[in-house]
């Protein structure tokens, strides 16, 4: 007879409730490793075999509004009540909810009675809804096409951004940002996800010494018209413009122009922020804003293979003056122990753009290929290896 194994779940819950982010992440990784180490063949078949079903049923829940209804309820709800609130057939709702109980998206508390879990609540967050839209509506076809793509290309590491798994999956030659423009809601999902995925407290603004670097610009003696006119912060490929707004909000006293640059279609939808100039610019073309203090890019070069990043960096280097800084806000992979999220995004970049996440040595070499020196790096989110790197023109030797 099978023994029922019990363990002190409440002690674990207590530890989890008081643990910081890093400890919780570590706990999850260890518990998953332990669960996987116990898995038999049947378990492996059904875990991978039904992996697409899991995402599909999350999409159904989002479309029906199941998570909002359940998370907003005052306690548990019956499947019939859920059916009534969402407009789904009661029998269908019973089948969906009993499946959700098995993946912890809802908790069964009695016959056909369910309550919300932390995951139900996560799935009501705007960032989660946008991210699921992005992965389900756009990226899923790319993942599906990846095995055929790699086979057709002889399992070479892809570096040609005009021939990708995403294009194979969508049967198109268009680059991803052009394709997204054609798919209803795709750009919106993407930008909402990009914008909300990070908070100011866990961003480059929390670690980079902006005041120190701009002391010469903001001291009152030099608060001249030329300082006010000088571009202070140019966010290249800045997306929705939220980061420009955050920068202006945090440093209203530092003189100089704050400029958002992106493709015309994105700039047309960008946040209008007083004190921020929104400018359409293709970053592979010569940089029109010359001599800025900071050129900044977050999550941009990782979308491009090395030869394109070299060009992108060169375009900025050509516009830099002696005290300019190119800030590259990206994942910097460690040599070992890369996180699940970073390793997954690396392979997602492979399929979408023939691109990659990079180690410090790879970033340094890319900078050097474009005539830039990696001077320092500031890690602000060690769990995801998120880091802002400070590239400058090479220092002249005083000979
Ligand atoms: C991964 S998103 C990052 C957006 C933003 N930096 C952020 O962190 O939220 C890449 C951005 O690069 C923009 N982009 C792509 N190709 C571009 C190009 N050739 N010129 C200018 N912007 C481009 C996209 O529109 C998108 O906003």
**Can you tell me which atom of ligand 1 is nearest the CA of 242?**
9
Domain co-membership, 281 together with 304: yes
CA distances from 126 to 123, 181, 268, 338 (A): 8, 21, 22, 27
- What pLDDT is recorded for position 94? 98
Nearest Cα neighbor of 255 from 282, 216, 281 is: 216
Nearest Cα neighbor of 379 from 317, 333, 311, 324 is: 333
Domain co-membership, 89 together with 215: no
The per-residue b/e assignment along 44-77, b for 16 or more CB within 10 angstroms, e otherwise, is: eeeeeeeeeeeeebbbebbebbbbbbbbebeebb
CA distance 312 to 60: 40
Which of 193, 209, 244 is the C-terminal boundary of a domain? 193
Residue 92 belongs to a domain with what CATH number? 1.10.10.10
Domain co-membership, 254 together with 310: yes
Would you say residue 31 lies in a domain? no
Structural domain boundaries enclosing 174: 126-193
Q: Structure tokens of 172?
A: 């198109």
**Other residues' Cβ atoms within 10 Å of the Cβ of residue 34:** 9
Residue 218 belongs to a domain with what CATH number? 3.40.50.150
User: Of all helices (H) and strands (E), which one includes residue 109?
Assistant: strand 106-110
- What pLDDT is recorded for position 217? 80
105-108: which pairs have CB atoms within 8 A and are 24 or more residues apart? 105/58, 105/61, 105/67, 106/70
Are the C-beta atoms of residues 334 and 393 closer than 8 Å to each other?
A: no
**Can you tell me which atom of ligand 1 is nearest the CA of 191?**
9
**Can you tell me which atom of ligand 1 is nearest the CA of 297?**
6
Domain co-membership, 369 together with 232: yes
Would you say residue 209 lies in a domain? yes
Measured in degrees and rounded to the nearest 5, phi and psi for residue 299 equal: 60, 30
Q: pLDDT tens per residue, the chain (399 residues)?
A: 566 666 677 888 888 888 998 899 989 999 999 999 999 999 999 999 999 999 999 999 999 999 999 999 999 999 999 999 999 999 999 999 999 999 999 999 999 999 999 999 999 999 999 999 999 999 999 999 999 999 999 999 999 999 999 999 999 999 999 999 999 999 999 999 988 887 888 899 999 999 999 998 855 455 566 777 899 999 999 999 999 999 999 999 999 999 999 999 999 999 999 999 999 999 999 999 999 999 999 999 999 999 999 999 999 999 999 999 999 999 999 999 999 999 999 999 999 999 999 999 999 999 999 999 999 999 999 988 999 999 999 986 554
Domain co-membership, 67 together with 113: yes
Measured in degrees and rounded to the nearest 5, phi and psi for residue 270 equal: -70, 160
Residue with the smallest CA separation from ligand 1 atom 8 is 298
Q: Structure tokens of 216?
A: 């010469």
Would you say residue 240 lies in a domain? yes
Residue with the smallest CA separation from ligand 1 atom 18 is 282
Domain co-membership, 230 together with 113: no
Domain co-membership, 385 together with 319: yes
Which of 81, 98, 122 is the C-terminal boundary of a domain? 122
Are the C-beta atoms of residues 244 and 258 closer than 8 Å to each other?
A: yes
Would you say residue 237 lies in a domain? yes
Is 302 a residue of the active site? yes
Domain co-membership, 285 together with 151: no
Which of 134, 169, 193 is the C-terminal boundary of a domain? 193
Are the C-beta atoms of residues 313 and 370 closer than 8 Å to each other?
A: yes
Domain co-membership, 255 together with 170: no
Residue with the smallest CA separation from ligand 1 atom 3 is 299
Please name every residue paired with 387 in a beta bridge, in sequence order, or none if there are none: 330, 379
What separation in Å is there between the alpha carbon of 190 and the centre of ligand 1?
10
Would you say residue 348 lies in a domain? no
What separation in Å is there between the alpha carbon of 238 and the centre of ligand 1?
6
Would you say residue 7 lies in a domain? no
Domain co-membership, 254 together with 366: yes
Domain co-membership, 251 together with 386: yes
Domain co-membership, 179 together with 154: yes
What separation in Å is there between the alpha carbon of 237 and the centre of ligand 1?
4
Residues 6+ apart with CB under 8 A from 78: 112, 113, 114
Would you say residue 345 lies in a domain? no
Domain count, the chain: 3
Would you say residue 17 lies in a domain? no
């Amino acid at each position: 007879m099978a023994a029922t194994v019990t363990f002190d779940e409440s002690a674990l819950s207590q530890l989890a409730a008081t643990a910081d982010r890093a400890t919780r992440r570590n706990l999850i990784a260890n518990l998953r490793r332990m669960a996987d180490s116990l898995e038999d063949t049947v378990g492996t078949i059904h875990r991978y075999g039904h992996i697409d079903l899991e995402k599909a049923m999350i999409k159904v829940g989002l479309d029906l509004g199941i998570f909002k209804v359940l998370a907003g309820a005052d306690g548990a709800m019956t499947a019939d009540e859920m059916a009534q609130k969402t407009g789904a057939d009661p029998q269908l709702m019973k089948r969906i909810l009993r499946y959700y109980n098995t993946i912890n998206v809802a908790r069964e508390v009695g016959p056909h009675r369910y309550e919300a879990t932390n995951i139900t609540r996560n799935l009501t967050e705007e960032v989660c809804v946008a991210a699921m839209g992005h992965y389900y509506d756009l990226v899923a076809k790319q993942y599906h096409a990846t095995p055929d793509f790699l086979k057709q290309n002889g399992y070479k590491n892809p570096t040609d951004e005009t021939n990708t798994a995403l294009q194979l999956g969508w049967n198109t030659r268009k680059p991803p940002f052009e394709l997204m423009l054609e798919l209803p809601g795709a750009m919106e999902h993407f930008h909402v996800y990009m914008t909300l995925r990070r908070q100011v407290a866990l961003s480059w603004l929390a670690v980079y010494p902006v005041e120190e670097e701009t002391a010469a610009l903001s001291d009152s003696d030099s608060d001249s018209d030329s300082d006010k006119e000088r571009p202070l912060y140019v966010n290249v490929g800045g997306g929705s413009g939220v980061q420009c707004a955050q920068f202006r909000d945090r440093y209203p006293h530092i003189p100089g122009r704050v400029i958002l640059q992106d493709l015309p279609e994105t700039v047309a939808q960008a946040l209008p922020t007083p004190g921020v100039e929104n400018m359409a610019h293709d970053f592979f073309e010569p940089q029109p804003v010359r001599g800025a203090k900071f050129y900044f890019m977050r999550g941009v070069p990782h979308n491009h293979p090395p030869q394109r990043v070299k060009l992108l960096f060169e375009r900025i280097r050509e516009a830099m003056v002696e005290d300019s800084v190119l800030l590259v806000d990206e994942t910097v992979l460690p040599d070992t122990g890369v996180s699940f999220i970073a390793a997954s995004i690396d392979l997602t970049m492979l399929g979408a753009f023939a691109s990659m996440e990079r180690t410090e040595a790879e970033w340094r070499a890319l900078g050097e290929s474009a005539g830039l020196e990696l001077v320092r790096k500031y890690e602000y989110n060690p769990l995801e290896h998120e880091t802002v790197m400070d590239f400058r023109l090479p220092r002249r030797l005083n000979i």
